[in-house]
């Protein structure tokens, strides 16, 4: 693809400055506990998310952004006008840069103590508290000798998912504010809550955006970009038993929890998260609760194809009937609900969205690689809403775990990618 500039854009960037700014922001943000809670219906589901959102609002104001909104559901949107020298750029399409502020509840996010490992030598990393990030289990570390690696102290996750994305977008904005002579098109910054619970976009005010497309900075490995994700459903399976005194239960008691346990064992083990990779979907029993009378099982369903998802939902109903037959007097109800769909078709409508992204990455000196997400992002939901939104790398690894780590140099390359995207889109026509 023809690039907008005759020389690589990286020639205009001070990587030392970018490194320091994005690192300072990242360290500041990860120390705010923003773990979201799937059991709380309110959005945002936790107070800590508000703490970070309000800090970001204040920092955006300090950077001179005057078109700001933070609504009652924690959606923070900043709108930045074009910097132009001719009328053509005034008509450039607006794009969005997006990240989420919450972290996963799979691992504690309370009291994160980031550890900086400068000038990484290529050996195992002692993160603290008896935990070791080993090269054997993290072969990608071999690509970052001489880099600065950031980890937690092993007692918590780090929070690169997705505070790396938040930090790099803020650094990109600051770069533009400090370089008013650089031409660029209009862009919007979107920070969202509760992405990890799957409900973060439920109340999103999509009508307030003017972006023709958006980019979530919520990926991992250097150069990886994603325009395809799972179709995702969540199923709530309710088991109703028949309770009698345990002392006289023979032939009468129907234990709802025993029914749930049998149901779980019937799910195909060769189609579980731990048994699949690539384009293979899965069933994932996620949570069970209840007692003798009532039990509820939560199952996550994932598949890249709509037909595959239909098959999975049908199997849940078949298993429900089987369990009812095994436990006369008991009943099983299945309620399956869509969480998000594969963003593939939405993004494919306009090939320029991915072509410009690849161009933006190449101009940082990194070769882009398209792949699939074995998961989802807020971008999948936003794509459904009519704003195509692929996902971009941020330099984080081992998300949701105590062994999460991030590469500072890759975070900087992602900052440059965000800047390049805004500059490249300034030369495009409104779709």
Residue that the structure tokens 């031409």 belong to? 183
DSSP characters for 399-424? TTSTT-EEEHHHHHHHHHHHHHHHHH
Give the chain's radius of gyration (CA, Å).
Answer: 24
Write the burial class of residue 367 (CB in 10 Å: 0-12 exposed, 13-18 middle, 19+ buried).
exposed
Write the burial class of residue 325 (CB in 10 Å: 0-12 exposed, 13-18 middle, 19+ buried).
exposed
CA pair distance 253, 37, nearest whole angstrom: 35
Query: Which H or E element spans position 357?
Result: helix 352-362
CA pair distance 355, 263, nearest whole angstrom: 46
Read off the DSSP letter of residue 229: E
CA pair distance 290, 301, nearest whole angstrom: 21
Query: Which H or E element spans position 383?
Result: helix 378-384
CA pair distance 176, 198, nearest whole angstrom: 32
CA pair distance 410, 167, nearest whole angstrom: 13
- Cβ atoms < 10 Å from Cβ of 343: 28
Give the active site residues.
102, 195
Write the burial class of residue 243 (CB in 10 Å: 0-12 exposed, 13-18 middle, 19+ buried).
middle
* Contact (Cβ atoms closer than 8 angstroms) between residue 299 and residue 285: yes
């Amino acid at each position: 693809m023809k690039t907008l500039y005759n020389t690589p854009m990286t020639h205009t960037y001070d990587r030392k400055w970018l490194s320091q700014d994005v690192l300072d922001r990242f360290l500041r943000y990860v120390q705010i506990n923003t773990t979201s809670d799937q059991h709380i219906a309110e959005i945002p589901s936790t107070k800590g998310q508000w703490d970070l959102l309000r800090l970001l609002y204040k920092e955006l104001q300090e950077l001179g952004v005057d078109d700001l909104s933070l609504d009652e559901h924690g959606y923070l949107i900043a709108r930045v006008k074009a910097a132009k020298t001719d009328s053509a750029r005034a008509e450039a399409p607006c794009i969005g840069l997006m990240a989420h502020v919450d972290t996963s509840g799979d691992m504690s996010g309370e009291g994160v103590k980031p550890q900086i490992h400068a000038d990484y030598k290529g050996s195992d990393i002692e993160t603290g508290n008896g935990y070791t990030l080993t090269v054997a289990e993290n072969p990608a570390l071999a690509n970052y000798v001489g880099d600065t690696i950031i980890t937690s102290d092993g007692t918590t996750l780090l929070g690169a998912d997705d505070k790396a994305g938040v930090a790099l977008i803020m650094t990109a904005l600051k770069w533009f504010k400090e370089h008013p002579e650089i031409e660029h098109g209009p862009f919007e910054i979107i920070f969202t809550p509760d992405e990890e619970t799957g409900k973060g976009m439920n109340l999103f005010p999509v009508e307030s955006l003017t972006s023709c497309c958006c980019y979530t900075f919520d990926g991992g490995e250097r150069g990886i970009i994603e325009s395809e994700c799972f179709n995702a459903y969540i199923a709530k399976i309710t088991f109703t038993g028949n309770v009698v005194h345990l002392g006289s239960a023979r032939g009468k008691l129907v234990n709802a929890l025993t029914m749930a346990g049998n149901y779980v064992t019937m799910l195909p083990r060769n189609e579980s998260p731990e048994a699949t990779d690539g384009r293979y979907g899965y069933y994932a029993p996620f949570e069970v609760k209840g007692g003798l009378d009532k039990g509820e099982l939560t199952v996550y369903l994932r598949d890249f194809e709509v037909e595959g998802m239909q098959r999975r939902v049908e199997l849940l109903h078949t298993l429900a009937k089987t369990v009812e037959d095994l436990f006369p007097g008991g009943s099983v109800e299945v309620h399956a609900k869509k969480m998000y769909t594969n963003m593939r078709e939405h993004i494919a409508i306009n090939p320029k969205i991915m072509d410009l992204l690849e161009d933006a990455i190449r101009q940082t000196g990194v070769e882009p690689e398209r792949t699939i997400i074995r998961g989802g992002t807020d971008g999948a939901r936003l794509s459904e809403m009519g704003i195509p939104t692929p996902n971009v790398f941020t330099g984080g690894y081992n998300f949701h775990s105590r062994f999460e780590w991030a590469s500072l140099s890759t975070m900087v390359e992602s900052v440059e990618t965000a800047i390049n995207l805004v500059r490249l889109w300034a030369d495009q026509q409104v779709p």
